[in-house]
Amino acid sequence: MSFLTRWDDDPSRPGVREVLRDLAVRAVLPGVLVFAVVCAIGWVIMEPLRGLESENDVSRWFQDRRTPTGETITKFMSMIGNTEYVIAVGVLVALVVLWRTRAWWFALVPILAISLQATIFVIAAYVVGRPRPTVERLDPTPPTSSYPSGHVGASTALYVSFVLMATRLPNPVVRRVVITLCVVAPLLVTFARLYRGAHHVTDVLVGLANGIVCALLAWGYLRRDPAKGQSRA
């Protein structure tokens, strides 16, 4: 069974107990490990590496190249990662998928991805407490929650889960367009957060990694058995 085709290989309906069990074992428990790794990297940055002060040079490089047009464009790019936007898009897509497939257990994928990411981000940001870059910030942001990037993590978790879901689209042209747009979206957010002085480079890199891993965990959260799919054929 291919990881990408796992939902097609076994489209059978699971029980609620089965879903809850697999959520705990295959998503929540691995998520705890991801959280530990994110915090460990944050500790290395803040303690042995003394906050990686050299990263402020990168932030100043972006600040020195700001323009009114760039500030306007990156404002909208950054909004792709806003909490309310991510939740709204995730719920909307989940509802559309539910309507089209009647597979509520599959429609949960983007919701699970952003929920895992958000939980890891919020607690890790509090634990690590990394200060923001020492440049003018163009957005109102808490001063000590720079690491990891929540905007980047949220948009990455959401759109990578969409990329995985889009592999099931039957029309190859539509599939390629959707996948391309979903790959580009978190990259735009990443650039915008650096440009607008919200994060250090390592903040957005760990945010990207957190989002990708959470999307993969969400995609694989439910055990699938190809034999069930074959028996239904």
CB 196 within 8 A of CB 74: yes
pLDDT value, residue 199: 97
CB 110 within 8 A of CB 162: yes
The tokens describing 88, both together, are 């709204």
- How confident is the model at residue 1, as a pLDDT? 62
Distance, in Å, from the CA atom of 163 to the CA atom of 168, rounded to the nearest integer, reads 9
Q: Is the pLDDT of residue 174 over 80?
A: yes
Residue range 207-221: mean pLDDT, rounded: 99
pLDDT higher than 60, residue 46: yes
Sign for the pseudo-dihedral over CA of 190, 191, 196, 197: positive
Neighbour-count burial of 158, counting CB atoms closer than 10 A to its CB (0-12 exposed, 13-18 middle, 19+ buried): buried
Average the pLDDT over 63-80 and give the result.
Answer: 98
pLDDT band (50, 70, 90) for residue 141: confident
d(CA 157, CA 79) in angstroms, rounded, equals 15
- Would you call 46 exposed, middle or buried from its count of C-beta atoms within 10 A (0-12, 13-18, 19+)? middle
Q: Determine the Cα–Cα distance for residues 151 and 203; give it in Å rounded to an integer.
A: 10
- Looking at residue 233, its pLDDT comes to 46
Q: Grade residue 145 by pLDDT with cuts at 50, 70 and 90.
A: confident
- Reported as a single tens digit per residue, the pLDDT across 72-118 is 999 999 999 999 999 999 999 999 999 999 999 999 999 999 999 99
